Each structure stands twice: as structure tokens, then as C-alpha cells.
Structure 1
Amino acid sequence: MFDSKVVRRRRAALAIFVTLSIVMLTAYFGESRGGLFHTLQRGAQEAFAPIETGTDRALKPFRDFFGWFGDTRAAKGENEDLRKEVEDLRKRVAESSTVEQDARQLRGLVDLERSDGFPDGTEPVAARVIARSPTVWYSSIKIDKGSSDGIREDQPVIAAGGLAGKVSSVTQGTAEVTLITDASSAVSAQIMPDGATGIVKPEVGKPEDLLLEFVQRGRRVTEGTTVVTSGFTSDRVESLFPRGVAIGRVSRVDIDEIERYQRVHIKPFAEIRGIDIV
């Protein structure tokens, strides 16, 4: 228990302190600027000014450090928010670009199906590319349609713009497609309307360039003309590729006076390296 005398002394001291404070405040606010208490205040400020200045200088590095630390944390938070916004925008742009590309390729397939060069009596099956060959020499893709969808080996595969390749193997749910840029590919073709014929093969190491070989040197070949498949159909046999499917456009003709044949370069209509839908 507390001693009652000690408690009384503390209460008395507190009462005296409060009374003196009230008296001094009343006197301070009641006197003029030249009064005693104002003079004492100015003297105390002048006396402690060097100490305050020194303390301020001593504490400034610590204030600067904590200020820098706080600003850095705030900046990191803002940078993280900006990175998230940029990443979100990139995803939206990528998704938009993918949708736009798919729509463009689908429109190309529809336009090709409606064109005069599309084989009569053909029931097209749309498929999406699910895998690609990683090499230039062996150029192939895998699609998400197979025998259960009516896909068979050696069927022609058409992408937006024109011929892309042929089905080389089939499972129930997928199919492997050998593209016209594959080293093993060979397609009989004809230049329209010039009529010159030859075999379309890939230009080795140049997936965006095809060659029409075995074109007689004397045959007229005009740059910019269209190259189509020259397939045929009879009662007994049918060519691998139907007649009239667009392949590409003549981009350049190399004529060697010694060689018997011309080398006709073709720019394929189909975006072979960017095919997503066939």
C-alpha cells in the first residue's frame, strides 16, 4: 500500500505546479513583447540554438536515410504496379493479335473455298496446328484432326492463300502434314496463263522461296503470274494434288544459257511458317 503522507505530498506538488503554470501562462500572454517572460523565452532560444543546429545536422543523415528508404520502397511498389500493367497490356495485345491472325486465316480459307480453283466435290475439314517441326530441312506440322474426322493420308492440305502440303500420316485424333517447303516435297504445277509446267520443290535453306524446276528454257514465263497445281483426274487414276489449287506467284526467273531448263522462283501464297489453321 502507498503511504498516505507521500500521496498527499505528491498531490500538493501537482497542485502547486498546475497553479504556477496557469499564473506564468497568464502573465506571459498578458505582458508585452518586452516583458520578463518574453525576454526569458528569447534568451533560452538563443542559448539552445547552437545545440538545436548541431542536433539537426547530426540527425540529418539519419532523416535522409529513412526518407530515401521510404521513397525507395514507394518507388519499388510503383514499379511493380507498372510492370504488372505492362505485362497485362502485353497479354491483351498478344491475345488480340492471335485472334486477328486466326480470323485472317479463316477468311483466307473461306475465300479460297469459294474461288474457282478450289477442287469440286471436296468437303473441307478445318483444323488447328498443334505442333511444328523445329528444323528447316524437315518441314512439317501436326494438326488436331485425324481419321475420325475423315482425314486420310496423301490428302492435300490448304491454308489461307493456297497449297500448304499433304497429309503424310494419320492417327484417330491427329495428323502429320508434310509442307511444300519440306525437302522431300515435289508438286507438279503449271504457270497460268502462260501454260509452262514443271515440278515445285523447296529452295534449300529458304522456307519462303519455292522453285519450279524443269521448265523448258524456250517457254515464256512472266514475273507476277500465278502458279497452280497441274493435277488430273481420270476414271482409273487420280493425281495426288487436284488441279488448279493456287501455290504461289512467280517472283524471279533465272535463265542460264548452258542449262536446258529455267529456274523459276515462286513466292508461296500461304504463310508457311506462320500457319495456325488449315
Structure 2
Amino acid sequence: MRDRRTSDRATSFLVVLVIISFSLMTLDIRSSGGGVTGTLRRGVQTVFTPIQKLATSIVDPALDMVDGIANVAGLRDANKELQQRIASLESRLDTVATLETQVASLRRILALTPADESIPKVPARVIARGDGFDASFQIDAGGNDGVLVGNPVVDDNGSLVGTITDVTGDSATVVPIIAPSADGVRVKSQTGEAGIILGRGSGDLDLEVLGATEPVFTGYLLVTAGSVRYPAGINVAKVAADARPEAQRIVTTAIPLADFSKLDFVAVLQWTFSTEVDTATTSTTSTTSTTSTTAGTSNGGSG
């Protein structure tokens, strides 16, 4: 019985509180902030407003910090993605720049006119390079394109690169003038001094002038002097250091005009003079041999 009474009292007390609450709300609305209710409301606001401001000043920065942490993580992801896109675009720009350089080089090769305009040329692209001990490289033109062993090779500016030493149907091997294994190139300076240049493997060339009567100076242009290997007038190198004759001999260095580290396209000059010389030499040797044989037979017959 005692529990039931307690429950009834609690229920009655709750009902009274609800009635009082509604009454206060009604009085507050009617009095428009005046009277006892307004005074109570203002008192409560006076007490709780500083507490609310304090709580706001503590809670808002904490919420901002949480939001900031979340934003930092998002910014990191966005920054990473942006960096990846920039790297991709830079790679594309590098590719485009490389292609533009190659196109410009090929155009110069196609427009190239040798010193001797009667010499045909075969454009070719460098497709393979040797290692640090082998300066030779391969091009994508070969016997099917009319390339022959011994043909000179020039770059897109017409400067001497080297000589064809091996030919297949679709490719050929070029030994550059900077290679130690390359044959010397006969050259002459702008003053007419004739000499020979030899490769070191990389960098400068060795220049030797025999029978020299005039000095050579830095910057003097050296061109092919004309021989069984190279037609005359191909730009080869520039003198790297002043030198004067000593016992009619000059020894100095020269800088090749071709940039061997950046060769993309070259032109093979279908120079046939060496072939003609070899043919003429063979014919002369054959004729001499035949004459000697005929003479021997005659002598034998007469003897």
C-alpha cells in the first residue's frame, strides 16, 4: 500500500509541474516579458549567459580544431593528387619538347645540301648506341636504302660525324671521328694549312699539321681536304688552342662541330669516289698483271 501511495504522489506532483509550466508560458507570452515571469526569465539569462559564452569559447575552438585536422588530411590528399598531375603534365611537356626537337632535326636533314650538291643523301635515325668503350652507333638505313660501307655521315648541320663501317639490309654501323679506332680525317684550315685529325674516344680531337708554315689560331675552321674517304668542303671541327709551327710541324687540339651526345637524325652521303678509286686501282693492277703475263709468255716463246 505504501508503494502505491508513493507512486500516486509522484504522478500528482508531475501533473502539477506540467500545469505550472504551461501557466508560466502563458503568462510569459501575455506579459511580453513583463511582470514576475519576465523578471525570472531575465534573471536566468543573467546567470546563464556568461556560462554559455564560456562554454562557446571552449567548445568552438575545439570543434574548429577537429574540422581543421579533417581539412588538413583532405588538403594533403588533394596536394598529392595535384603533384601527380603536375608530374604527368611535365612528363608530357618533356615528350613534346623532345618530339619538336627531333622534327626540327629531321627537317634540317631533309633540307641539307652537301658542299658537293651532286652527292645524294640518305636520311637516317640513330637507333642504338655503343657503351662507354664503344663510340659506334647504329642507324635505321642500310643496303636496301643504297647505303654502302665507306659512305660519310653528317649531322643535321652538315658537320662530319663519321663513316659507315658495316651494312645490313635495314641498318648500318657508324664509327664516329671521335673514336680512337676511326681512320684519320684529312683537313685543311682557312689559311690553307693541311693536316690530319684523330679521335680520342670523346671530347676534343688531336690535330697534327705537317709541313706547316703558318700558325693556327683558336676558332679556325677545319674542313675536309678531299680524299678517297671524304669529299672536300665538309665542316669537321674548330681549332681549340693556338699553335705555331715547330720544325714545320703543328700539334694541337680541335673541337668537333657535331654534338655526338645529341644525335637523333643523320644523313648518309652516297659518296662513291672511294669506290671509283678502288675500281680504277683494281683495273690498273689487273692491266699491269695481264701485260706482265703477256710479256712473259712472249719472252718464253721467243726463248
Normalised to the residue count of structure 2, the TM-score between the two structures is 0.66
Segment of structure 1 superposing worse, 167-176 or 46-55: 46-55
1:153 aligns with 2:149: yes
Distance 1:39 1:266, change over 3 A: farther
SS at match of 2:265: coil
- How many residues align? The count is 249
Q: State whether residues 119 and 244 of structure 1, in contact with CA within 8 Å, keep that contact through their aligned partners in structure 2.
A: no
Query: Contact 2:216–2:243 at 8 Å: present in 1 too?
Result: no
Task: Assess, with a 3 A threshold, how the Cα gap between structure 1 residues 158 and 99 changes in structure 2: closer, same or farther.
Answer: same
Unaligned residue ranges in structure 1 (runs of 5+): 1-12, 233-238
- In structure 2, do the counterparts of structure 1 residues 125 and 32 end up closer, same or farther at CA, with 3 Å as the change threshold? same
SS in 2 for 1:73: helix
Residue type of the partner of 1:261?
R
Aligned residue for 1:267?
A: 255
**1:224 maps onto 2:219 in alignment:** yes
Q: What is the CA–CA distance in structure 1 between the aligned matches of 2:123 and 2:245, rounded to whole Å?
A: 43
Residues 83-127 of structure 1: CA distance to partner in whole angstroms, max 9, x if unpaired?
Answer: 13422441343134213322442344345x325x246332x1211
Aligned-partner Cα distance in 2 for 1:171–1:26: 108
Aligned residue identity for 2:125: R
TM-superposed CA distance for 1:22, in Å, is 8.2
Q: Is the 8 A contact 1:119 1:243 kept in 2?
A: no
Q: Which moved more, 1:93-102 or 1:248-257?
A: 248-257
Structure 2, unaligned stretches of length 5 or more? 1-13, 267-303
> Structure 1 residue 262: deviation in Å?
1.5
Give the structure 1 partner of residue 229 of structure 2.
240
Instruction: Name the counterpart of 1:183.
Output: 180
Deviation at 1:158, TM superposition (A): 1.0
Paired residue for 2:98? 98
Aligned 8 A contact 2:215 2:243 in 1: no
Aligned-residue sequence identity (percent) comes to: 25
Q: Distance in 1 between matches of 2:41 and 2:21?
A: 15
CA distance 1:194–1:53, change in 2 (3 Å):
same
SS of 1:127's partner is: strand
Matched residues in 1 for 2:251 and 2:93: separation?
Answer: 42
Q: Do the aligned residues in 1 keep the contact of 2:218 with 2:239 (CA within 8 Å)?
A: yes
CA change 1:195–1:35 in 2 (3 A) is farther
8 Å Cα contact 1:143-1:176 kept in structure 2: yes
How far off its partner does 1:191 sit? 2.1
Task: Specify the structure having the higher radius of gyration (Cα).
Answer: 2
Deviations 1:39-87 (A, max 9, x none): 44444443485477358637854x3552232221232233134313422
Using the alignment, how far apart are the partners of 2:181 and 2:38 within structure 1? 105
Relative to 1, partners in 2 of residues 1:267 and 1:181: Cα closer, same or farther, differing over 3 Å? same
CA contact (8 A) 2:125 2:264 kept: yes
Q: Is this contact kept in 1: 2:126–2:138, CA < 8 A?
A: yes
**Separation (CA, whole Å) in 2 of partners of 1:168 and 1:28:** 110
Relative to structure 1, the CA distance from residue 120 to residue 66 in structure 2 (aligned partners, 3 Å threshold; closer, same or farther) is: same
State the alpha-carbon separation in 1 of the partners of residues 175 and 23 from structure 2: 104
Task: Name 1:210's counterpart in structure 2.
Answer: 205
CA distance in 1, matches of 2:190, 2:95: 41
Does structure 1 retain, via aligned residues, the 8 Å contact 2:109–2:156?
Answer: yes
Q: Give the structure with the larger helix fraction.
A: 2
Is 1:66 matched up with 2:62? no
Q: Which has the higher strand share?
A: 1
- The answer to whether the 8 Å contact 1:253/1:262 transfers is no
- Matches of 1:106 and 1:30, distance apart in 2: 95
Please, which of 239, 242, 246 is the counterpart of residue 253 of structure 1? 242
CA distance in 2 between counterparts of 1:200 and 1:173 reads 31
Deviates more, 1:48-57 or 1:65-74: 48-57
